[in-house]
Amino acid sequence: MIKIGDITSFISCPRLAYFRMHHEKGVANEYHAVREIFLSLRKGYDYEWAYERFSTLYPDSKETFTLAASKLRYSEELERIRPRAWEVYFESERLRLRGVVDEITENGRFLVVMLKKISDKFTFKERMRMTAISAISGIKEGYVYYAYDGVLAEFKETRKDRYNLLRILEKLRKIEKGFLPERREGKRCEICEYSDECNTKPETFASRFF
């Protein structure tokens, strides 16, 4: 079963998706911390409770949590959106796709938290993440809260979004079965937790046709 996180990993780098699907290390990053803070605040708890949740999963990552907490902005605009449920699990047997939605609102939309808004429009990676949520939940519209900017944005799925998602899922199913994509050089390689493994994994002729 493919996870929504596999889709965003694939868009960042197909090999990153491969290693996370087959050799997950469970390394904490700022997004993990921000998500725990956001959910805790939305539920009426505080930063201390958020750290209790975060440290249970990532016990040696206090610096990551502190850094994320120093950057997070909680906008009053969120108060106009009333939550119905948090951390709701969805699964589609037809798509073989699963994931957890941060929040379902009373007006029947989903709400997810992201770190930083880097464009006036949604990026392709953002659209695919939200389209995947729509696909498994059946909810076509939602909100994105950019925690480092304090900005709330609205999303609505399109047919093109769904088509692009299906194409990515086709490739991820190949990776899930063990197919190793071609290696791509990029800025992310310098900070990737799988750089050593990637450097030692040989490419094959077939990896070029992906």
What is the pLDDT, as a whole number, of residue 192?
Answer: 84
Instruction: Please report, for the domain that includes residue 145, its CATH number.
Output: 3.90.320.10
Q: Could you identify the residue written with the tokens 């450097």?
A: 199
Structural domain span for residue 76: 2-208
What's the CA gap between 5 and 183, in Å, rounded? Answer: 20
3 state DSSP class of 111: strand
What is the pLDDT, as a whole number, of residue 209?
Answer: 54
Within its chain, how far is the Cα of 98 from the centroid? Answer: 12
For 130-160, the pLDDT digits (tens) are: 999 999 999 999 999 999 999 999 999 999 9
For 1-57, the pLDDT digits (tens) are: 999 999 999 999 999 999 999 998 888 999 999 999 999 999 999 999 999 999 999
What is the pLDDT, as a whole number, of residue 206?
Answer: 54
For the chain, the domain total comes to 1
By residue count, the chain amounts to: 210
3 state DSSP class of 39: helix
For 96-137, the pLDDT digits (tens) are: 999 999 999 999 999 999 999 998 899 999 999 999 999 999
Q: What is the mean predicted confidence (pLDDT) over 73-100?
A: 96
